[in-house]
Amino acid sequence: MTTLRVWLSRLRGALSGRSRAEAELADEVQAHLDLLADDFVARGMSPEEARFAARRAFGGVDQVKAVHRDQRGLPAMDAFTQDVRFAARSLRRDRAFLLTAIPVLALGIGVTHMFLTIVYAHTMRGLPISRPDRVLYISTFDDRTPDRPMSYPDFDDLRASARHFEAIVAYTSAAVAVGDEGRAPDRFEASYVSAGAFEALGISPLRGRGFEAADHRPGAAPVVVLGRSAWESRYGGDPGVIGRSILLDGAPATVIGVLPGRSGFPGTASMWLPIEQRRGLTTAPRDARTLRVFGRLNDAASESNARAEVAAIMSRLEARHPGTNRAVRARVVRINDRFFGRIEGPWLAFLIAGCLIVLVSSANAANLVLARSLHRVREVAVRTSLGARRARIVREQLVEALLLASTGGAAGLAVSSTGIRLFANAIPGGTLPYWIDYTLDWTTGMALVAVSLLTLAIFGLVPAMVASRVDVVGVLKDGGRRQASNLGLRRWTTAFMAVQVALAVVLLATIALGSLAARGGLDTDAAVATTEVVTAALNLPAARYPAPDDRRRFLQQLLDRVQGAPGIAAVAVTSVLPRQGGAESRLHTDGPPSPNGEATTLVVAITPGYFDALALRIAKGRDLTEADGHAGARNILVNRRFVEQFLQGTEPLGARLAVSTPGTADGPPQWQAIVGIAPDIRQRGAPDAEPIVYQPLASLAPATSTLMVRSGMAPSAVASVLRETAGALDSTVPLYRIQTLAQAVYDAEWNPRVSARLATTLALLCLLLTTVGLYAVTARAVSLRQHELGIRMALGATPARIARLVIAGVRPPLLLGLGLGLAGAMAWDRAFPSGQPRLGASDPRILAIVGLVLVLVAVVACYRPARRAARLAPAEVLRQG
Amino acid sequence: MPPSSSEVPYGTLDLIVLKTLAAMGPLHGYGIARRIEQVAEGALALNQGTIYPALLRLEQQGWVKSAWGTSENNRRARFYSITAAGRRQLAAETETWARTVSLVSRLLDRES
């Protein structure tokens, strides 16, 4: 392969030091000339004559060197590196341009990449398991319920008769309390899994072993596998924990292994147990559908065959068990399709926003490049007339754009990773399932390259085409003015700038709206977001506290003991903390039925002293008392908003109402009497208060509730008091999520907070891009009109007048954009009502502020070009023309 | 027709250089140029510089190799020598050349 060898040699030549080869050639040629001259001298010439004769005989030294050079390396590559050097040099000279174009590109690419990465992580990345395309998720549905899990008997039959699957496994999740000697108990999310679950997903334990067949036999000794996070947080990563017996919900189980981090089942489980250990599960009836089921296909099986097989088995089950399985069908999808693949709702908005940003920023970059290339029209014309080929000039422009795009891409990566870090940190730990991973991988890396190339295509190609169309004669004749203004881009630029301004108007208006709406929060917000209240969730294991009376007794003892501890001002228990929701319930009153459908209210269960713990006062009537805390107690509180909405015009105190869980059959209403009116506290994110019914916690005594303790002590001191007190009462009851109420509220509100931050980022970015865009357009206009402005000045126009003339140039896009933005804000109001009467994005107050901001932006953008115009020296400009 | 010096026929310089190196052993660029001129006895107008691109070509093909050394009158010079692959190439090329020449001359003879 001679040609290959030649190419390799050339490649080596191109890559290796060019100066060395050059020096050697020079030496060699010099040696040749010297030898030749020696000969001539020997033939009797004078040294002077000999040197000339030698040169003549040799031929053109420089031509030989040039041929040598081209042959030595790869001429195309040499030319490319030359172009890169040239572009880098010419860019470095134009620092003002670089300082605008690079940040514009970096922000555009970075923010877009950040959005893409987030969307990708949530909707496309897939589970980190081996060959996920061979794992099918099997759920059921019938005429009434579109999607439900599977019952144990159905799962067992399916597992026994399916032939196309290597394994079919089921799991279900529950919280367990973990206790062992000498440690405060913890609460973990656990998955109960059937035999072969780890193998089916290709997960092997980090330490110890997974479950074996013997562990799944009925009556087998209870065992547990820890997740890495549980192993590290509770046992400090001690390998000695394997083989030890720990208490799960009060019952002993042996730790047999630890799973690696970032693995497990769809969900946030950090502990695994054999499904047979879940009490009553394997003997549950056929219509108790609680199991999530998936199977791994045989190597030989096809997906469609497997689907048909599952369908056949389900119809057999229907025939055999008509009572429980009538019309129950299976839905079989790839496991990643079950959890990923749907880009909708906020993700779609994210994606659109990302694309808009990159378009806007690269169009802005195009404007900047265009403004810059207009300065160079003359240079291009001169070079073309001297014989430079158009292709070469376009290539130079593209190389310059490539440099810009790659620098912008690299800086964009920094922007993106910072943004993603901020985004991820804003989400409280444990909120997202383990598979959501924002790290840069091959796909997101390629996305970055693709986005950078997209910007390159937009801001690189257009100006390059424009430059290549330069009409040489015209430019050389009139200095490029007519040429530049004939490029026909003006209308496009105006339209583009107007859209950008409109976008900025809408974004700014919605943000202003958001902050106005937030200011309209409740006066209890400050009282709730307090660090003086420490909260701790607790979970009473069903094994030890089966009956409500048991739980009631424990909670009462706990309350009494904590209350008695030194430094504690008030203590209460609630079913759910402020901002963390509540039980959405149907409301029944004595009054006529509500005209707009069923009335609903949130229900929160509390102990007496809840409002004391929050340092809030009952608005009217009385608080709940110990006497209301019995099983048959019928007294409740409602909040003000409830009275406004449902009890308008009647005496609320003493009025009766009933609540029931939606979807349950209508029994006779359990009437309850209102004894007091509570202040409005937001249970959910909405800025407005919602109707809330406060029931005595003791009448329900739920297994999971949250302690609230007000004291003047440091939160950590309170936490240890709580742990000690609860531990002394029952060492198997875990207290978890111990934090201040302020922290709990902050965590609970992450979603609106993160959305608001993203929106603010977008708006600021849009504003920045608008500024840059207006600047580029104005600067370009000034360079184009230099000659005209010079004449005006020569004829007596004052600098102020010239500056006004320049500023007038941004008026059309600005006015058009404000108009479009107004329309956009009104459309926004219709699409996303703010939830507050008389307040919307098109509110005149908001639009006035936004308009003012944009005018300011325009002034900032025009300042430099206007000043430059005003300082033009007419004589100089006219002489140049 | 009076004998006049002509350009080196296109594509033959490489062959001539290879033949020269095969016949003379290692030579520097000037030595090769002088030898070619000697053999041509003035029938060839050689721009001596053109042998350097030719030498680079041959070296890239692996037919010659080079090393720095000292010339007869004590000047540093780069000496080229033919490789085994170069000898094989020379043999093949020589044969091709002979065939081409005989073909062309046969054609020319017949037509005249």
| pLDDT tens readout for residues A665-680 | 556 778 888 999 999 9
Answer positive or negative: Cα dihedral of A437, A441, A443, A448: positive
pLDDT digits (tens, 9 = 90+) for A363-420: 788 777 877 776 677 777 777 777 777 777 778 888 888 888 889 889 999 999 998 8
> Taking Cα atoms as reference points, which of A606, A608, A604, A605 lies closest to residue A626?
A608
Q: What is the pLDDT of residue B3?
A: 42
> Taking Cα atoms as reference points, which of A762, A790, A767 lies closest to residue A876?
A790
> Taking Cα atoms as reference points, which of A305, A333, A287 lies closest to residue A155?
A287
**Residue A390 Rama label (left phi>0; alpha psi -120 to 50; beta):** alpha
pLDDT digits (tens, 9 = 90+) for A840-869: 667 788 888 888 888 888 888 888 888 888
A31 and B78: CB-CB below 8 Å? yes
For the segment A652-676, the average pLDDT, to the nearest whole number, is: 79
Place of tokens 């026929």: B9
A36: which 2 tokens? 């030749």
CA distance A590 to A493: 65
Our CA dihedral for A789, A795, A799, A802, rounded to 10 degrees, sits at -40
DSSP at A734: P
Three-point CA angle A854, A860, A861, nearest 5°: 90
Q: Where are the beta strands (DSSP E) in A608-753?
A: 620-621, 635-639, 656-660, 672-678, 692-696, 704-711, 735-740
Task: Please name the residues in contact with A310: beta carbons below 8 A apart, sequence gap of 6 or more.
Answer: A138, A158, A162, A330, A332
> Taking Cα atoms as reference points, which of A839, A285, A761, A733 lies closest to residue A508?
A761
B34 and A63: CB-CB below 8 Å? no
Given pLDDT bands bounded at 50, 70 and 90, which one contains residue B2? very low
% of residues, chain A, pLDDT over 70: 89
Higher pLDDT, A499 or A107: A107
CA distance A388 to A382: 9
A32, A40, A43: best mutation site toward chain B, by most B Cβ within 10 Å? A32
Chain B residues closer than 8 Å to A34 by CB: 75
Interstrand relation of A183-193 and A271-274 (parallel, antiparallel or unpaired): parallel
DSSP at A592: P
CA distance A469 to A456: 19
The average confidence (pLDDT) of chain A is 82
Chain B residues closer than 8 Å to A24 by CB: 78
B27, B56, B59, B89: best mutation site toward chain A, by most A Cβ within 10 Å? B56
Q: What are phi and psi of A536, to 5 degrees?
A: -145, 125
User: Is residue B5 within 8 angstroms of chain A, CB to CB?
Assistant: no
CA distance A126 to A788: 61
B75 and A35: CB-CB below 8 Å? yes
CA distance B94 to B90: 6
- Quick check: A581 and A646 in contact, CB under 8 A? no
User: Is residue A57 within 8 angstroms of chain B, CB to CB?
Assistant: yes
Q: What is the pLDDT of residue A10?
A: 75
A36 and B61: CB-CB below 8 Å? no
Compute CA distances A82 → A79, A240, A634, whole Å: 5, 64, 87
Q: What is the pLDDT of residue A592?
A: 64
B61 and A34: CB-CB below 8 Å? no
For the ranges A265-274, A409-418, A817-826, A835-844, the one whose mean pLDDT is highest: A409-418
A490: which 2 tokens? 């003006």
B49 and A59: CB-CB below 8 Å? yes
Which helix (H) or strand (E) segment is A113 a member of? helix A95-123
Compute CA distances A635 → A247, A673, A695, whole Å: 39, 5, 7
The one-letter code for the residue type at A45 is M
Q: Which of residues 423-442 of A touch B (CB under 8 A)?
A: none
| Nearest-neighbour CA in chain A from B57: distance (Å) | 8
Compute CA distances A679 → A355, A424, A582, A606, A835, whole Å: 45, 35, 16, 14, 21
Q: What is the pLDDT of residue A469?
A: 66
Q: What is the pLDDT of residue A809?
A: 80
pLDDT digits (tens, 9 = 90+) for A690-741: 899 999 988 878 888 999 999 988 999 999 999 889 888 887 788 888 999 9
CA distance A504 to A861: 15
For the segment B86-99, the average pLDDT, to the nearest whole number, is: 90
Q: Burial code of A531-547, b = ≥16 C-beta within 10 A, e = fewer?
A: ebbbbbbbbbbbebbee
Higher pLDDT, A223 or A379: A223
For the segment A237-254, the average pLDDT, to the nearest whole number, is: 88
Three-point CA angle A343, A346, A347, nearest 5°: 35
Task: Please name the residues in contact with B101: beta carbons below 8 A apart, sequence gap of 6 or more.
Answer: none
pLDDT digits (tens, 9 = 90+) for A297-328: 998 889 999 999 999 999 999 999 988 888 88
Higher pLDDT, A726 or B5: A726
Q: What is the pLDDT of residue A638?
A: 93
A236: which 2 tokens? 């400090």
Chain B residues closer than 8 Å to A2 by CB: 61-62
For the segment A419-442, the average pLDDT, to the nearest whole number, is: 79
Residue B56 scores a pLDDT above 90: no
Higher pLDDT, B112 or A320: A320
Across the interface, of B48, B57, B60, the residue whose CB is closest to A32 is B48
Q: What is the pLDDT of residue A839?
A: 61
For the segment A460-486, the average pLDDT, to the nearest whole number, is: 61
Q: What is the pLDDT of residue A344?
A: 64
A746: which 2 tokens? 């902050």
Per 3-state DSSP, what percentage of chain A is helix, strand, and coil (rounded to 5)? 55, 15, 30
Higher pLDDT, A592 or B21: B21
Task: Please name the residues in contact with A105: beta carbons below 8 A apart, sequence gap of 6 or more.
Answer: A361, A362, A365, A404, A405, A407, A408, A409, A411, A412, A455, A459
For the segment A228-256, the average pLDDT, to the nearest whole number, is: 88
Residue A190 scores a pLDDT above 80: yes
Task: Please name the residues in contact with A756: beta carbons below 8 A apart, sequence gap of 6 or more.
Answer: A511, A514
pLDDT digits (tens, 9 = 90+) for A89-115: 888 888 878 888 888 889 888 888 888
| Nearest-neighbour CA in chain A from B99: distance (Å) | 23
- Chain B residue closest to A6 (CA)? B60
Q: What is the pLDDT of residue A295?
A: 92
For the segment B50-69, the average pLDDT, to the nearest whole number, is: 88
Q: Which of residues 9-28 of B touch A (CB under 8 A)?
A: 28
Q: What is the pLDDT of residue B10?
A: 65
ipTM of the complex: 0.83
Tell me which of A444-448, A470-474, A545-549, A655-659 is least confident: A470-474
